[in-house]
């Protein structure tokens, strides 16, 4: 569904953020991307929808190659990739409804969007999504009146209303408390399962990633160091990704999880 071929990004400062990354993600797979700060996680997902222009390499979304597209074709393909951000990146001074509907901007013309006359089907879908994430009564509030967890749920609605095939998720829980973090991760994974979406989730919290995803990619200095199922993350693996540290407290054991399920 998504295939990266030798994707490379060299910043103008000379920093090699990505070193010929190869990666293939099948339909409906939720994947966590872990690695230390500066490993190139953010750059990787931004190179896929070209918020950052890759230096070389190819990105295949289905059977469309993205790195050579012109502006109009790129915008069409961006509609198929929903993005969720670390600090929510809602437009603070717009209402929740406007923020959700902004996910449809790729589908409606300028004047319709400027005068806020979105098609009724889009509005219906926006209400349905807000209801799904439990924010129906917030539709008319301004985005900056919401709490962190609520804002991130609006961000999820904005990504989903695009009707994407792929979700690019950049540190969705980094500014949230532990409980809200789990709720948001659970919500993202549930929605991916409901809709058969593939997702790449950048995440710092290794234990949280292990709880929810089917596959983990470890990135270090712009190169893939680990690719496997979450329970294959051993202390040795984490040491190759992050460097030497005592990992016993970080890796979740199966018993912990069961205890928690009982509690």
- Is residue 70 a contact residue for another protein (CB under 8 A)? no
Near another protein by CB under 8 A: residue from 34, 85, 97, 165: 85
Residues 6 or more apart whose Cβ sits within 8 Å of residue 19: 8, 221, 222, 223
Nearest CA to 78 among 164, 158, 152, 2?
A: 164
Minimum CB separation from another protein for residue 164, in Å? 10
Near another protein by CB under 8 A: residue from 67, 162, 202, 210: 162
Minimum CB separation from another protein for residue 82, in Å? 8
Based on CB atoms, which residue is closest to another protein, 110 or 243? Answer: 110
Q: What's the CA dihedral at 152, 156, 157, 162 to 10 degrees? A: 140
Nearest CA to 74 among 47, 101, 40, 41?
A: 47
Near another protein by CB under 8 A: residue from 89, 123, 174, 237: 89
Near another protein by CB under 8 A: residue from 22, 27, 62, 91: 91
- Is residue 75 a contact residue for another protein (CB under 8 A)? yes
Residues 6 or more apart whose Cβ sits within 8 Å of residue 223: 19, 20, 21
- List binders of another protein among 101-120 (CB under 8 A): 102-107, 110, 113-114
Instruction: For the sheet with 64-65, list strands across it.
Output: 16-25, 2-10, 56-61, 64-65
What tokens appear for 8 in the block? Answer: 């490379």
Minimum CB separation from another protein for residue 85, in Å? 6
- List binders of another protein among 180-219 (CB under 8 A): none
Q: Which residues of the shown chain bind another protein in the complex (CB under 8 A)?
A: 49, 51, 75-79, 81-83, 85, 87, 89-94, 98, 102-107, 110, 113-114, 155, 158, 162, 168
């Amino acid at each position: 569904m998504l295939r990266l071929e030798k994707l490379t990004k060299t910043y103008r400062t000379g920093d090699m953020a990505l070193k010929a990354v190869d990666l293939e993600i099948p339909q409906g797979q939720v994947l966590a991307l872990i690695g230390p700060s500066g490993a190139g996680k953010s750059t990787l997902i931004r190179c896929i929808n070209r918020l950052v222009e890759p230096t070389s390499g190819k990105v295949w979304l289905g059977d469309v190659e993205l790195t050579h597209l012109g502006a109009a074709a790129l915008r069409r393909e961006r509609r198929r990739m929903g993005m969720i951000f670390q600090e929510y990146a809602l437009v603070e001074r717009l209402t929740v409804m406007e923020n959700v509907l902004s996910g449809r901007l790729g589908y409606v013309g300028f004047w319709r969007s400027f005068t806020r006359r979105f098609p009724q089907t889009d509005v219906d879908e926006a209400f349905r999504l807000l209801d799904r994430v439990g924010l129906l009564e917030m539709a008319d509030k301004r985005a900056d009146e919401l709490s962190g967890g609520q804002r991130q749920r609006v961000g999820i609605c904005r990504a989903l209303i695009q009707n994407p095939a792929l979700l690019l998720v950049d540190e969705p829980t980094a500014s949230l408390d532990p409980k809200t973090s789990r709720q948001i991760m659970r919500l993202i994974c549930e929605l991916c399962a409901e809709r058969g979406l593939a997702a790449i989730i950048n995440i710092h919290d290794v234990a949280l990633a292990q709880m929810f995803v089917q596959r983990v990619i470890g990135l270090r200095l712009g190169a893939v160091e680990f690719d496997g199922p979450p329970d294959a993350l051993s202390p040795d693996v984490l040491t190759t990704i992050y460097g030497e540290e005592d990992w016993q407290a970080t890796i979740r054991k199966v018993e912990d999880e069961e205890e928690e399920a009982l509690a």
